[in-house]
Amino acid sequence: MRDRLSDYAALPDGLDQKLDLESLFSAPSELWLEIGFGAGEHVAAQALANPSVGLLACEHYLNGVSSCLAHLEKNEIKNTKLHNGDARDLMDQLPDASISKVFLLYPDPWPKARHHKRRFINPDNLDAFARIMHGGAVLRVASDIPDYIQWTMDHLEERTEFSLLGDPASGFREPWTDWPGTRYEAKALREGRTPAYLTFERNPQ
């Protein structure tokens, strides 16, 4: 597994290494970031559909990384690098205004109030998004948990750096036109939950 990952690793020698975007991707049209990719189906679909983009994708669940690697190898995907670890460590290494699109798809909901501080949408991570996203960059958040959807809108509404795109009257029930779905989403739909698809734009700096 470690050998297989080394070809695709964003940080081949671990976190002590400095992230070197130029050696990872040759002249990408844009850099995208996916956080918590699970088994990696969405990573592979986006990478295949957008070959000029450099995609950085993070997941700390080792079995998920292994499954994502299988998708990348099978499809001979070359424009994706993986970080098997905490996305926040990778974000810390990204240059200011370097990212054009962030995917946060079905983040862990942490339903108990005493665990809400663990939710990925929180003030510190929004500071990081604001720093690494350039003006006009977009953040996509999908969730099937009504409380997390409201939480996300409330936290981003407080920020001057982001604007929610789309008409709130729609309930944000329509997936993005290039949406391949995710494994977690398929389970949520099977269990009768209704996802929302939120898109936020990074306002110009």
Ligand X SMILES: C[S@@+](CC[C@H](N)C(=O)[O-])C[C@H]1O[C@@H](n2cnc3c(N)ncnc32)[C@H](O)[C@@H]1O
195 contacts ligand X (rule: CB under 6 A): no
User: Minimal CB distance to ligand X: which residue?
Assistant: 36
The pair phi, psi for residue 71, each rounded to 5°, is -65, -45
108 contacts ligand X (rule: CB under 6 A): yes
Cα 13 to Cα 35, 127, 129, 180, 200, distances in angstroms: 20, 27, 25, 32, 34
Position of tokens 């409330």? 154
Position of tokens 């109030």? 113
Task: Find the binding residues for ligand X in span 156-185 (CB under 6 A).
Answer: 182-185
CA distance 132 to 128: 6
Minimum CB distance to ligand X smaller for 61 or for 97:
61
Interhelix angle 146-157/123-132, nearest 10 degrees:
60
Stretch that binds ligand X, among 11-19, 82-90, 154-162, 196-204 (CB under 6 A): 82-90
60 contacts ligand X (rule: CB under 6 A): yes
Neighbour count for residue 137 (Cβ, 10 Å): 23
Candidates 10, 11, 38, 77; binder of ligand X (CB under 6 A) is 38
Any idea which residues carry the catalytic annotation? 108
Q: Which of 36, 46, 65, 75 is nearest to 178 (CA)?
A: 46
Minimum CB distance to ligand X smaller for 41 or for 161:
41
148 contacts ligand X (rule: CB under 6 A): no
Candidates 8, 25, 37, 129; binder of ligand X (CB under 6 A) is 37
46 contacts ligand X (rule: CB under 6 A): no
Min separation Cβ 2 and ligand X, Å: 18
65 contacts ligand X (rule: CB under 6 A): no
Candidates 28, 54, 64, 195; binder of ligand X (CB under 6 A) is 64
Beta carbons within 8 Å of 189's beta carbon, 6+ residues apart: 195
Instruction: Assess contact for 164 and 198: CB atoms under 8 A.
Output: yes
Residue 138: enclosing H or E segment and its boundaries?
strand 133-143
State the residues that interact with ligand X by CB under 6 A.
Answer: 35-38, 58-61, 64, 86-88, 105-108, 120, 182-185
